Amino acid sequence: MVWGRDAVLCELSRAVSSLVTLGFAVSVPSQDFRPYRFGCHPSTIEEMARKYRLGLGRRAINVLYTWMVGRGRGPSLVHLLTVRGRRTGEPRSTPVSVMELDHRRYLVAPYGPVSWVKNARVAGEVSLTRGDRTERFTVRELGPEEAVPVLRKYLREIKVVRPYFDVNADSPEGEFRGIAPSKPVFELTPRG
């Protein structure tokens, strides 16, 4: 098979997009490396958000972030979320980004209702660890109206998740309300 310039650019763009999604080259805006820029999809198909898959690369990144966050290193908004498993009752941990807006803290599930989301819904409480500091919180899932400003801020600050959203940070509020049910947002209230 002979590859033309556009096909090579398309494949290169897909490879770079995958690296950006995995957290490599985070300083490069992921929007610039989407394959559709080089005609990699039929023009009759609109761009759709990527589906999250917990593959080997993402697992490796999670292990690295867990190690870094456990030592208080890495981006300041990344914490280790621990929640009781809904079936086993055993604690389950994963790195997450915590958003702060109007002096309140939030958890956003950019990949949809993954395991930690389901566990948090059932348990009603989580803990966040960074370095040697652990805080416990109750969680309340926000409705679409309340979630919009948090989702907007999340998209502005966490570039690596942009391919998983059908909106961008400047999209109208109505579009954000439309995707809010598929991107759960939880308000964190300190347990006292």
In 3D, which of 60, 98, 106, 92 has the Cα closest to residue 79?
98
Q: Where are the alpha helices (DSSP H) in 71-133?
A: 115-123
H/E segment holding residue 64: helix 56-70
pLDDT of 190:
97
pTM of the complete model:
0.69
The pLDDT tens digits for 131-149 are 999 999 999 999 999 999 9
Tell me how long the chain is.
Answer: 192
Q: What domains lie within the chain, and their CATH numbers?
A: 1-47 (no CATH), 51-190 (2.30.110.10)
In 3D, which of 87, 28, 108, 94 has the Cα closest to residue 66?
94
In 3D, which of 123, 153, 141, 149 has the Cα closest to residue 182?
141
Report CA 39 to chain centroid distance, whole Å.
26
Across 17-22, average pLDDT: 49
